[in-house]
């Protein structure tokens, strides 16, 4: 692990605390999720649900996860053999990689990628094979990838394709056509897909995923799991967590859905990482997943209006704002401000304008692709975003 330093999130959040800057770096909301979910956790703490829960997670939570997958995606998972609770999506991804990869095996993913991927691939002594998600060259353009490049990166050692859509840090959301191409690659090359779907309920209504897709419009969620494509249900490990969808990022309760053989492989690793997790939070997460279905589009609409508020502030400050189709994040091209290194720029931002952001280059192996890109989080109260916009104007 010697090549790994402190995560950028720890560095930038500490910088925000030290300087009193507004933290638009690390992606966490500044308000809590639904009160009844908190009450359920308090109730569980008070009623003695404080000892080790069952290894795969409590039954009520596994049933709620299975119900959620059926309701939104028409995917049927047996809560007893095909669903497992983890310590956030992070543990689920790590345990899945460790379970599937022998030393030297290759993991295909899009670049940029969430920071923990490189670390857990390294822990497995596997090799990451990033394929570029190309940044748009015009404002308003989408990030895109070339399926032929994905296919060309496959070797006999490639075991796993690790997909994150909606995508952190770019805000890219894969369309049905893009997902179909990825699914075909997995089937043709007998890959297992690990899908990081933590932003599944944060796809915005102007995302390309919605266009001409009645199936998407009918459920009012633009996210389409890779597991819904032909041949993928049996070869996908679907991963998500409570953090982003319900604004409880500090709870670190996540889950895995897959066929029984894959779940038991992941369980083998997970049992020696954390054994079990957060007993009193599990019934509360079940309450969250059982909330009325109207919770989800309302939540996404609220976040979409925050996105637009921040976009306006960033554009007024002279930054070139790229398109955000989902997630918590807006990416900006800061070369219009004469910036040549996003990391230096982000380290200096608190002093220059009292705002913290994340340099996108840290999510790349090929950092030169992104020295001009900076990621801003908009999962904050509107008044905080308005104040941030006022401060960002000092950059001009």
Angle between helices 115-123 and 88-100 (to 10 degrees): 40
Cβ proximity to ligand PMP, 129 vs 244, nearer residue: 244
Cβ proximity to ligand PMP, 166 vs 280, nearer residue: 166
Cβ proximity to ligand PMP, 100 vs 194, nearer residue: 194
Contacts of 29 by beta carbon, 8 Å cutoff, 6+ apart: 247, 249, 379, 380
Secondary structure element (H or E) that encloses residue 158, with its range: strand 158-164
The entry of ligand GLN, ligand PMP, none that residue 26 binds, CB within 5 to 8 Å by partner kind: ligand GLN
Specify whether the backbone of 213 is left (phi greater than 0), alpha (psi in -120 to 50) or beta: beta
Q: From the centroid of its chain, how far is CA 230? A: 24
Q: Residue 239 CB: number of other CB atoms within 10 A? A: 27
Select from 18, 44, 16 the least CA-distant residue to 30: 16
Q: Using CB under 6 A, which of the segments 95-103, 204-212, 246-254, 388-396 binds ligand PMP?
A: 246-254
Residues that bind ligand GLN (CB under 6 A): 7, 9, 26-27, 168
The entry of ligand PMP, ligand GLN, none that residue 89 binds, CB within 5 to 8 Å by partner kind: ligand PMP
Q: For residues 160 and 200, is the Cβ–Cβ distance under 8 A?
A: no
The entry of ligand PMP, ligand GLN, none that residue 68 binds, CB within 5 to 8 Å by partner kind: none
CA distances from 320 to 273, 312, 332, 391 (A): 43, 11, 5, 17
Q: For residues 172 and 164, is the Cβ–Cβ distance under 8 A?
A: no
We find the least distance from the C-beta atom of residue 329 to ligand PMP, in angstroms, to be: 9
Enumerate residues 89-108 that contact ligand PMP by CB under 6 A: 89-90
We find the least distance from the C-beta atom of residue 86 to ligand PMP, in angstroms, to be: 8
The entry of ligand PMP, ligand GLN, none that residue 311 binds, CB within 5 to 8 Å by partner kind: none
Secondary structure element (H or E) that encloses residue 111, with its range: strand 106-111
Cβ proximity to ligand PMP, 114 vs 364, nearer residue: 114
Cβ proximity to ligand GLN, 26 vs 277, nearer residue: 26
Q: Does 243 bind ligand PMP (CB under 6 A)?
A: yes
We find the least distance from the C-beta atom of residue 329 to ligand GLN, in angstroms, to be: 7
Residues that bind ligand PMP (CB under 6 A): 88-90, 114, 164, 168, 196, 198, 241, 243-244, 249, 252, 254
């Amino acid at each position: 692990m010697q090549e790994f330093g402190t995560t950028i999130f720890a560095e930038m959040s500490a910088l925000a605390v030290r300087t009193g800057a507004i933290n638009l770096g690390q992606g966490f909301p500044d308000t809590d999720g639904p009160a009844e979910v908190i009450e359920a956790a308090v109730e569980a703490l008070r009623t003695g649900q404080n000892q080790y829960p069952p290894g795969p997670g409590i039954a009520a939570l596994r049933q709620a996860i299975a119900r959620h997958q059926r309701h939104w995606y028409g995917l049927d998972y047996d809560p007893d053999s095909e669903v497992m609770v983890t310590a956030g999506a992070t543990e689920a991804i790590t345990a899945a990689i460790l379970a599937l990869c022998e030393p030297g095996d290759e993991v295909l993913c899009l670049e940029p990628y969430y920071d923990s991927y490189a670390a857990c691939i390294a822990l497995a002594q596997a090799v990451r094979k990033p394929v570029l998600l190309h940044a748009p060259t015009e404002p308003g353009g989408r990030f895109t990838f070339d399926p032929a490049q994905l296919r060309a990166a496959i070797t006999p050692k490639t075991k796993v394709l690790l997909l994150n859509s909606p995508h952190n840090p770019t805000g890219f959301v894969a369309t049905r056509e893009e997902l179909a191409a990825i699914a075909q690659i997995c089937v043709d090359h007998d890959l297992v897909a690990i899908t990081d779907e933590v932003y599944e309920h944060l796809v915005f209504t102007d995302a390309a995923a919605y266009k001409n897709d009645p199936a998407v419009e009918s459920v009012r969620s633009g996210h389409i799991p890779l597991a819904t494509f032909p041949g993928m249900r049996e070869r996908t490990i679907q991963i998500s967590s409570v953090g982003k969808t319900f604004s409880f990022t500090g709870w670190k309760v996540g889950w895995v859905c897959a066929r029984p053989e894959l779940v038991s492989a992941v369980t083998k690793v997970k049992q020696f990482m954390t054994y079990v997790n957060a007993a009193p939070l599990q019934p509360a997460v079940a309450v969250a997943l059982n909330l009325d279905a109207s919770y989800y589009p309302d939540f996404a609409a609220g976040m979409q209006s925050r996105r637009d508020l921040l976009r306006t502030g960033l554009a007024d400050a002279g930054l070139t704002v790229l398109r955000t189709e989902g997630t918590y994040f807006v990416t900006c091209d800061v070369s219009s401000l004469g910036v040549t290194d996003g990391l230096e720029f982000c380290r200096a931002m608190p002093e220059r304008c009292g705002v913290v952001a994340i340099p996108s280059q840290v999510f790349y192996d090929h950092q030169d692709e992104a020295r001009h890109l900076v990621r801003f989080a908009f999962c904050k109260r509107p008044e905080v975003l308005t104040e941030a916009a006022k401060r960002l104007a000092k950059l001009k």
